[in-house]
Amino acid sequence: MYRAFLLLAIPLLAGAQYTDTSQSRWVEPAEKDTLPSFDDFDNFLGKLGVIQASGPVDTAGHPFFTPLGTNGRACVTCHQPTYGMSVSAEGLRNRWRTSSGKDPVFAAFDGSNCPNLPQGQEKSHSLLLDRGLFRIPLPWPPRHPDGSPKPVEFSIEVVRDPTGCNLSPVYGLKSAQPTISVYRRPRPAANLKYVLSGAQNIVLKTGTLADRDPETGKPVSMNLMADAREPSLAAQALNAILGHEEAHEAPSRKQLKDIVDYESQIYAAQVEHIFAGPLVDRGGPFGLGPAALRDRHPGVLGDNEYEQVFGNFDSWKGSDFYRASIARGANIFMFRQFWLRDAAHINSIGLGNPIKRTCATCHNAQMTGQDLSAGWVDVGTTNYPTWTEPDTWAETAELPVFKITCRPDADPHPYLGRVIYTTDPGRALISGRCVDVGSIVMQQLRSLAARPPYFVNGSAKNLREVVDFYDRRFEMRLSDSEKEDLVNFLGAL
Amino acid sequence: MRLGYFACLFAASIAMAQERNFVACPIVRDTKTVPCYLAEYEGKLYFLGIQQDITAAFHPPQLKHQVLVEGQASEGPLVCGGIPLKPLSISVIKDVNPACNTLLPAEPGIDAPPAARGAGPASHPLTLSAAPTESLSGRQDFTILYAFNDDYVEFASIATVQKAAAYATKIRASAVNVMGYRGTTVLSNEERLIEKPELAERRAQAIATLLRGSGVTGVTADWKKEPEPGDGKTDPSRRRVTITVIP
């Protein structure tokens, strides 16, 4: 329906700067349309498939597609089917061009680097346009649900502020309402039964009680959002409407229920590889395509030989060149051993440092590759010295840098100690704990081809840069062809 | 009688001589299978354990940190090139020490003991459920042990808390008393290490919170302010929280 023509000339070369070739179908808020049960959308690696398991959806009046706040945005603004229910930086740049920067997605509140910047200028939205990052303003210190401040184990200083927001007397850390602004990618509103599964009363990684769903009183997975700050889809939707949509009053319970019901039945995954062809066929790996996501059960541990994270790719090993490449990539993901070291909430929870393991040790949840346990981990993307950013004072620095100083009586960060420089303290902005500085909840590894750039800070422009980061960070010593196999594998998910 | 007295003294000195309580940088040795974790003390290399999964009783030490080793040297052949210690307790010293960074390559002839799980994906499911409570009756004590200066509730201890909670719920306990302690460790060089003053309270409060959050009512928490004494032999057993479930 919304298909674009395929540009077969796209090079699938190592390190190539991928270009989004889709004739992007941008669903406008308040648009009247019927979204079908299945749709597919072109992207640089083939086609994404999106299933609405409950059947066709009329967008007219539906609260997911209707602006409920004051800035013209709806949920769909940042969770577009074309982009795997997230949004890509290229899609945002296209939107800037076609709307002359007037689209509600560029709202000053969080669609610009800081609300006090001149909103008509492209550079005021550089983090959104270049990296797909929205501003996430978080109160400091963090608050309990009743509004009382949580105890915190560290002080925080702003040592670099390229956006001007963290030092702003109106929006910053020393404003009347002290706020830390971090900049993060929106996560896909799809395949959510997997994201919400695996809830345990006691969180394995911390030995503390899991957060509770305020509606049901039951423990939650704590795998929702980059910092697990919202316990449920309803809570996330409520705060997104009050925040991202700038609503002055809360949506009705019926509206929240409709949003949650809608999000809970969407499944998105790649269905076609630009060269390997259709990815879903009889006898192939069980985990590919959105129908598999719809049909399989969540909460299954996939870090094992007998029921692997995305299925067994052996039948593709002798297949055509690209299927064989995808299969080799899957094999590296599951079986290639390397030294996993200095990753807080992996090495520090009793496994040892270092451990000799594989990608699937951490990306262990079947079908999504998240962590089945509450999955915040400091893999090193946001904390100095392994961060993805240039030196703190480099002219090219785009993200704020914070200095975290831990109290002497607090447990320090397990590998960085008591003074940490970070572009995003991650979970620590919610927990107030030093051990959590830089820890980010793992994302699902689905629909990746539809939604570059990657990592919480949008620092990897393409999948090759993701693989390069891990290769560098954990000294995996991957060859160029192995990296390309991993790129093809990740792009097939 | 006198002979017996001397025999006891001799046995005690032998036992003391076998204690190996020390703080050192851990050493990681790669092997054909899983890595071994070792530590050196007074010129001798001691075997601490191997990489396993989180359900194992042994939680390996960490590079970038010193490790407190509390064990007894045991007879028998070297394991992974080190003298085995049994029983053994290890504690990761929290402050970062970049000097602890020795990773030895695999060497021919030095193998890790058989591992329940290799370095790749698991070949069998993890056991995550709490132990059954059918065989329990009457007043019961459950003990949570801790690493030195730590209040982290490890995987095995979570199962103990869950077992205590299940039992208290099952018998509709009239009271559940949580008591926290902090300990003293006597090193082989006679140095004494005492845990942080607030730790007994933190341990007790954390366990009480877990029990209440597991639906247990009537939970009270108390803690002993003074550290438990150390003897250089059984010190790990006194870094603890006890949960007493009263019918």
User: How many C-beta neighbours within 10 Å does residue B91 have?
Assistant: 24
Residue B11, pLDDT above cutoff 80 = no
| Burial call A238-264: b when 16+ CB within 10 Å, e when fewer | bebbbebbbbeeebeeebbebbbebbe
CA–CA separation, B52 and B61 (whole Å): 12
Name the residue of chain A whose CA is nearest to B206's CA. A208
Q: How far is B227 from chain A (nearest CA, A)?
A: 18
DSSP letter string, chain B: -HHHHHHHHHHHHHHHHHEEEEEE-EEEE--SSSPEEEEEETTEEEEEEE---TTSS----BTTS-EEEEEEE-SSS-BTTBEEEEEEEEEE-SS--TT--EEEPP-TT--PPP-SS-SSSBSS----SPPP-TT--SSEEEEEE--TT-----HHHHHHHHHHHHHHHHTT-SEEEEEE---EEE-TTS-EEE--TTHHHHHHHHHHHHHHHTT--SEEEEE-SSPPP--SSSGGGGSEEEEEEE-
- Mutation target to probe the A interface, by most A beta carbons within 10 A, among B64, B65, B124 is B64
Tokens of B78: 């070297």
Specify the pLDDT at position A11.
34
Whether the Cβ atoms of residue A420 and residue A438 lie closer than 8 Å to each other: yes
Specify the pLDDT at position B73.
95
Among candidate residues A295, A273, A288, A278, the one with its CA nearest the CA of residue A330? A288
ipTM of the complex: 0.90
The beta-carbon neighbor of A207 closest among B60, B124, B158 is B158
Q: What element of type H or E holds A138? A: strand A134-139
Angle between the A253-263 and A233-242 helix axes, to the nearest 10 degrees?
120
- Mutation target to probe the B interface, by most B beta carbons within 10 A, among A353, A359, A364 is A353
Contact partners, residue A274, CB within 8 Å, separation at least 6: A6, A8, A10, A12, A44, A45, A46
CB contact under 8 A, B153 and A207: yes
Q: How far is A113 from chain B (nearest CA, A)?
A: 36
Specify the pLDDT at position A17.
36
Specify the pLDDT at position A4.
38
Name the residue of chain A whose CA is nearest to B50's CA. A352
Q: How far is B226 from chain A (nearest CA, A)?
A: 18
Specify the pLDDT at position A394.
81
CB contact under 8 A, B54 and A351: yes
- Residue B3 binned pLDDT confidence (cut-offs 50, 70, 90): very low
What integer best gives the mean pLDDT of chain B?
A: 91
Specify the pLDDT at position A375.
83
In chain B, the domains with their CATH numbers are 2-104 (2.40.50), 140-246 (3.30.1330.60)
Contact residues, chain B to chain A, C-beta under 8 Å: 28, 30, 34-35, 37, 51, 53-54, 59-65, 94-96, 103, 119-126, 152-155, 157-158, 161-162, 196, 198, 206, 209-210, 213-214
Whether the Cβ atoms of residue A196 and residue B194 lie closer than 8 Å to each other: no
- Bridging pattern class, strands B175-180 and B219-223: parallel
CB contact under 8 A, A414 and B28: no
Task: Provide, as residue numbers in chain A, all residues whose Cβ is less than 8 Å from the Cβ of B96.
Answer: 412-417
- Residue B54 binned pLDDT confidence (cut-offs 50, 70, 90): confident
The amino acid occupying position B54 is: I
The pair phi, psi for residue A315, each rounded to 5°, is -65, -15
Tokens of A189: 């509103």
Specify the pLDDT at position A15.
35
Average pLDDT over residues B60-75: 96
The beta-carbon neighbor of B62 closest among A306, A348, A356 is A348
CB contact under 8 A, A305 and B196: no
CB contact under 8 A, A350 and B155: yes
Establish if A407 touches chain B: CB-CB under 8 angstroms.
no
Specify the pLDDT at position B135.
87
Task: Provide, as residue numbers in chain B, all residues whose Cβ is less than 8 Å from the Cβ of A312.
Answer: none
The beta-carbon neighbor of B59 closest among A209, A339, A350 is A350
What does each C-alpha distance from A215 to A145, A253, A290, A299, B4 come to in angstroms? 13, 11, 29, 21, 70
Task: Provide, as residue numbers in chain B, all residues whose Cβ is less than 8 Å from the Cβ of A360.
Answer: 121
What is chain A's Cα-based Rg? 21
- Residue B128 binned pLDDT confidence (cut-offs 50, 70, 90): low
CB contact under 8 A, A354 and B63: yes
Average pLDDT over residues B82-94: 97
Contact partners, residue A282, CB within 8 Å, separation at least 6: none
The pair phi, psi for residue A289, each rounded to 5°, is 85, 155
Among candidate residues A293, A279, A386, A291, the one with its CA nearest the CA of residue A326? A279
Task: Provide, as residue numbers in chain B, all residues whose Cβ is less than 8 Å from the Cβ of A416.
Answer: 96
Name the residue of chain A whose CA is nearest to B155's CA. A204
**Helical H segments across A421-479, by residue range:** 428-431, 463-473
Distance from the Cα of residue A267 to its chain's centroid = 16
In CATH terms, the superfamily for domain A299-491 is Cytochrome c-like domain (1.10.760.10)
- Residues paired with B173 in a beta bridge: none
- Residue B5 binned pLDDT confidence (cut-offs 50, 70, 90): very low
Q: How far is B59 from chain A (nearest CA, A)?
A: 5
pLDDT 10s per residue in chain A (493 long)? 333 333 333 333 333 333 444 455 899 999 999 999 999 999 999 999 999 999 999 999 999 999 999 999 999 999 999 999 999 999 999 999 999 999 999 999 999 999 999 999 999 999 999 999 999 999 999 999 888 999 999 999 999 999 999 999 999 999 999 999 999 999 999 999 999 998 999 998 899 999 999 999 999 999 999 999 999 999 999 999 999 999 999 999 999 999 999 999 999 999 999 999 999 988 899 999 999 999 999 999 999 999 999 999 999 998 899 999 999 999 999 999 999 999 999 999 999 999 999 999 999 999 999 999 888 999 999 999 999 988 877 878 899 999 999 999 999 999 999 999 999 999 999 999 999 999 999 999 999 999 999 999 999 999 999 999 999 999 999 999 999 999 999 999 9
CB contact under 8 A, A202 and B30: no
Task: Provide, as residue numbers in chain A, all residues whose Cβ is less than 8 Å from the Cβ of B214.
Answer: 201-202
- Bridging pattern class, strands B102-104 and B26-29: parallel
DSSP letter string, A24-46: ---PPTT---EE-SEEEEEETTE
- Residue B131 binned pLDDT confidence (cut-offs 50, 70, 90): low
